[in-house]
Amino acid sequence: MSPVLSDRIEVHDLHFYYGHTCALKAVSLNVPERQVTAFIGPSGCGKSTLLRCFNRMNDEIPGARVSSGSIHIGGVNIQQPSVDVAKLRREVGMVFQKSNPFPRSIFDNVAFGLQLHRISNRSMLNQAVEEALISAALWDEVKDRLHESALALSGGQQQRLCIARSLAVKPSIILMDEPCSALDPIAAAKVEDLIRTLRQQITFIIVTHNMQQAARVSDLTAFFHLGELIEFSPTLKLFSNPAHKLTEAYLRGTFG
């Protein structure tokens, strides 16, 4: 595996199972680098499963497996046993629906990933934490209380803290699984602003149930239904002129 992954994601004919349940069926798509791609579709259609394939998070789920097909990131087949999963997860960060800060200080939450990756020089650590908090648009709100508990932050601040934590290790891709669904509209708007600011440097894939959010923030949108990719198009095209009846029905709110 090459030391530096680029970040184009190529999925070819992917089939994924939990035990005997097929969660992804013949999914093929190429996610371009440094753009924002939204995954939409009704609950249970496989969005989170596919997202977790991209940093091998499904490895942690007993009985879960890719049964056939391939995923390449930057030309590297990430399913090969020789892939260094810790390194992959450093390149491909993840932000969850429910922000999950550790019950530690704000500083420690951001420094955590860096210490894991052996950056322990104090001034380098301070600088990296500051940079990540600035990038996550949180620095001004927390710079005077870096050593207070992260759990004292608001929900929106905690979510930006989790984004700062993933930014700190300089990932090339960030996967976001419904990152705003527990946030109020103002906090959600801050996360969207953040994505817009960082999209020149980082490839984002965002799972969202909020159609307006997908339309506002993404360049490309993939619509899934029952484990299949139904349509993958530029967001403007998919929302204004969907190619598939199922996409249109979903956008109209007929199901889902």
Ligand X SMILES: Nc1ncnc2c1ncn2[C@@H]1O[C@H](COP(=O)(O)OP(=O)(O)O)[C@@H](O)[C@H]1O
Q: At closest approach, how far in Å is the CB of 6 from ligand X?
A: 26
Number of amino acids touching Mg ion (CB under 5 A): 1
Smaller CB separation from Mg ion, 153 or 176: 176
DSSP secondary structure letters along 210-246: -HHHHHHH-SEEEEEETTEEEEEEEHHHHHHS-SSHH
Q: At closest approach, how far in Å is the CB of 16 from ligand X?
A: 8
d(Cα 41, Cα 251) in Å, to the nearest integer?
9
Distances (CA, A) of 88 to 28, 33, 75, 125, 218: 21, 16, 13, 22, 24
Smaller CB separation from ligand X, 45 or 215: 45
- The listed partner (ligand X, Mg ion, none) that binds 96, CB under 5 to 8 Å by sort, is none
Smaller CB separation from ligand X, 23 or 187: 23
Smaller CB separation from ligand X, 5 or 95: 95
Q: In a 3-state reduction of DSSP, which class is residue 165? A: helix
- The listed partner (ligand X, Mg ion, none) that binds 111, CB under 5 to 8 Å by sort, is none
Residues that bind ligand X (CB under 6 A): 18, 21, 23, 41, 43-49, 61
Amino acid letter, 86? A
Q: At closest approach, how far in Å is the CB of 237 from ligand X?
A: 22
Smaller CB separation from Mg ion, 48 or 157: 48
Q: Comparing C-alpha atoms, which of 26, 31, 37 is closest to residue 9?
A: 31
Smaller CB separation from Mg ion, 47 or 89: 47
Q: At closest approach, how far in Å is the CB of 40 from Mg ion?
A: 11
- The listed partner (Mg ion, ligand X, none) that binds 23, CB under 5 to 8 Å by sort, is ligand X
* Stretch of 44-52, 68-76, 113-121, 240-248 lying at the interface with Mg ion (CB under 5 A): 44-52
Map 3-65 to HEC letters.
Answer: CCCCCCEEEEEEEEEECCEEEEEEEEEEECCCCEEEEECCCCCCHHHHHHHCCCHHHHCCCEE
What is the H or E stretch that residue 108 is in?
helix 106-116
Choice from 7, 24, 48, 239 touching Mg ion (CB under 5 A)? 48
| Footprint on this chain of Mg ion (rule: CB under 5 A) | 48
